[in-house]
Amino acid sequence: MTTSSQRRIDMAGLAIALLLLALAALVWWDQSKLQILSPYDLGPKVMPIVVTVGLTLLAIGNGIAAFRGDLPKRDSLDWKPIFLILGGLTILIALIALGWGFMIGTAILFAATATAFGRRAFLVDLLIGAGLAVFVYLLLGKLLTLSLPAGPLERLL
Amino acid sequence: MEAFFSLANGLSVAIQPMNLLFALIGVLLGTAVGVLPGIGPALTVALLLPITFKLDPAGSIIMFAGIYYGGMYGGSTTAILINTPGESASMATALEGNKMAKAGRGGPALATSAIGSFVAGTIATLGLTFLAPYLVDIAIRFGPEDYFALMCVAFITVSATFGDSPIRGLTSLFIGLTLGLVGIDILSGQSRLSFGVPELYDNIEVTTLAVGLFAVGEALYVASRRHIEEEKLEPVRGSLWMTKEDWKRSWKPWLRGTLFGFPIGALPAGGAEIPTFLSYSTEKKLTKYPEEFGKGAIEGVAGPEAANNASAAGTLVPLLTLGLPTSATAAMMLAGFQQYGLNPGPLLFAERPDLVWGLIASLFIANGMLLVLNLPLVGLWVKLLAIPQPWLYAGILVFATIGTIAANPSPVELIMLAVFGVLGFLMRRFDFPIAPVVVGLILGPVAESQLRRALSISLGDPMVLLQSPISATLLFIALVALVAPFVLKGLGRFKAVED
């Protein structure tokens, strides 16, 4: 451990504190629209108020920790895999929303995640992902009769 | 001796072929996910919830319990062979176990952890069998205010008392409580934090939250720091069997580990980390071979492994008798009960004794199955570690998304999954504990409704919380548990320096 030469304000920690404060404000604003209907019930407002107070106190606590530089040390971060995985998820969500079914998107998510973890064979992984999607569709959709979003490909099976 | 009778009845349920099959699937899956880094038992149960929705409740719950126990066995294999504990509960095992594997004693390390897990699991399940009826008798007398106070205790101990930082733990809890507010308030029919989105009106799905935090969050986190660490698999060399000397040095740590694991698991203290580390440091103090500690002492594997299995059984005590989950996996099992409209607690023991006792009896069977699966077949499990990491995580994400959409066929559910994934990533990066979020989401609404029920019975008089002796005591415990980590902070730092 390095002894504290000069403790700097942890900007990320400060951002966390501000986010918590924003969340507290949101909960407070939301409960202000509720009505208390029954005189014998504590009403729906009490719990949100408790949560607001708690979040505000914790925002202060996290803020103090950020100012004192008390946050745990963080390693360097590689952003590319994060974008790849979230990108794959976004494509999957978009394809399902557009009514294309889940198989194409699932194959893309599989290949994107594999790439994020260092594979360099996107097309092969795309095929593996497609195979996995078919397998899961047969298992869940046909065997366990769960409803999965169907597009043109799913109707062929 | 009522417990014996109930257990015998349970056994007749547990040995039905279908239930035996479910137990077998459970322990197989559990061992597999315990071995694989990146997926734990909590995530596995979460992924299986939507799939098991249409199956028989007793069978599914027996399977979930098998996964829980299996995960505890499997985690040790990874900890010993690649020094990356599959579960936080196996962290202490990795300390000595990996050293043993490096010294060519991986076989005995695996053996002592498997046999120790069996011994501890069996004793602790016996403990569960005899303790549960007593606790049920007490729990029957609980009024709504007492339940509310009990949940306050669970909130505090799970989030604040035993973590690294009480502030970060409580922050996680309150994020969970906030998520628990989302949806229509049953008592008044008004919607909270829903912003007109229909998918939000019927509450946030526990599975979506858990899968997002555990699967997506973990994948993002591991991918983002892949450039930092490389894992190395130690081959299992030499004999699998323990020598007479190994047995002699193992049996006492097994029993001591059980004594730490079961009671601490049964208290609402959250998880298996504390008893495993307590067991590790005890064995380090008591050993006749102090020079071996840090270089691969078998006591340092035997004790913690027994402790983590015993604590898994201990966690089931508050879960089954009070409906109180104290670890992430227990929280997911509670969600498993709830998806069939079953609420664990004293009533369930009265209404569905077949189910509860069938589950408890099947735990004994699962333990026996696990011993067989893990000792002679350990080589097979090790092969799982050969799955390339890219395919492993890609597969996890595929199952995570499909499981989520199968439960709630709507793109909005997947958007929530992605958002919770990013939340899980950030929480890992900044070292916020994950389990309190899940516990907050599940227990928050329950605590609220108990509080409101208590106050409407008392016609709005809040003093009811202090007039009931049970509730007053529990609230006092919660207060102490909340204040203690702040007061004792200096002590903790002192200890860290000493080590």
CB contact under 8 A, A102 and B431: no
pLDDT value for B163: 67
Window 173-202 of B, Cβ < 8 Å to A: 174-175, 177-178, 181, 185, 187-188, 190, 192-193
What percent of chain B clears pLDDT 70, i.e. is strictly above it? 94
Q: What is the pTM of this model?
A: 0.88
**pLDDT in the model for residue A5:** 40
Instruction: For residue A82, give the nearest of B224, B228, B448 by CB distance.
Output: B224
Reply yes or no on whether the pLDDT at A25 is more than 90: yes
Please tell me the distance from the alpha carbon of residue B82 to that of residue B7, in angstroms, as a whole number.
Answer: 39
Q: Are B213 and B420 in contact (CB under 8 A)?
A: yes
User: A39-48, B277-286, B399-408: which has the minimum mean pLDDT?
Assistant: A39-48
What's chain B's Rg over C-alpha atoms? 22
- The pair phi, psi for residue B85, each rounded to 5°, is -60, 130
Strands (E) located in B181-332: 183-184, 191-192
Please give the ipTM for the structure prediction. 0.91
Which chain B residue's Cα is nearest to A111? B394
Sign of the dihedral defined by the CA atoms of residues B420, B421, B425, B428, in that order: positive
pLDDT at B452 over 50: yes
Total CB pairs under 8 A between chain A and B: 206
Mean pLDDT, range A2-20, rounded to an integer: 75
Q: What is the pLDDT of residue B497?
A: 35
Note whether B391 contacts A: Cβ–Cβ < 8 A: yes
DSSP tag of A22:
H
| Chain A residues touching B421 at Cβ < 8 A | 86, 89
CB within 8 Å of A115: residues ≥ 6 apart: A84, A122, A125, B390
pLDDT band at A26 (very low <50, low <70, confident <90, very high): very high
pLDDT at position B225 is: 83
Listed range (B29-33, B127-131, B380-384) with the worst mean pLDDT: B380-384
Quote the minimal CA–CA distance from B431 to chain A in Å: 7
Residues 6 or more apart whose Cβ sits within 8 Å of residue B437: B172, B173, B175, B176, B179, B209, B213, B427
Enumerate the domain spans of chain B: 2-498
User: What per-residue confidence (pLDDT) applies to A122?
Assistant: 92
* Better-predicted residue by pLDDT, A24 or B456: A24
Is the distance from CB of B301 to CB of B109 less than 8 angstroms?
A: yes
B97-124 mean pLDDT:
89
Q: Which parts of chain A fold into alpha helices (H)?
A: 11-32, 46-68, 79-97, 103-116, 122-136, 152-156
Which residues in chain B are contacts of A136 at CB distance < 8 A?
Answer: 398-399, 402
Q: Which residues, in sequence order, are bridge partners of residue B192?
A: B183
Q: Are B309 and B89 in contact (CB under 8 A)?
A: no
Q: Note which residues in 267-296 of chain B have CB less than 8 A from chain A.
A: none
Closest CA to A22 of A34, A32, A10, A30: A30
Listed by number, the residues of chain B in 454-493 with a beta carbon closer than 8 Å to a beta carbon of chain A are 455-456, 459-460
CB contact under 8 A, B431 and A61: no
Q: Do A117 and B223 touch (CB under 8 A)?
A: yes
Look at residue B267 and tell me whether its pLDDT is greater than 60: yes
- pLDDT tens-digit profile of B129-184? 999 988 888 888 889 999 999 999 889 888 876 667 889 999 999 999 999 999 99
Q: Which of residues 119-178 of B touch A (CB under 8 A)?
A: 164-165, 167-168, 170-171, 174-175, 177-178
Q: Do B418 and A86 touch (CB under 8 A)?
A: yes
| Contact flag B223-A82 (C-beta cutoff 8 Å) | yes
B241 falls in which pLDDT band (50, 70, 90)?
Answer: confident
Pairwise CA distance, residues B23 & B64, whole Å: 8
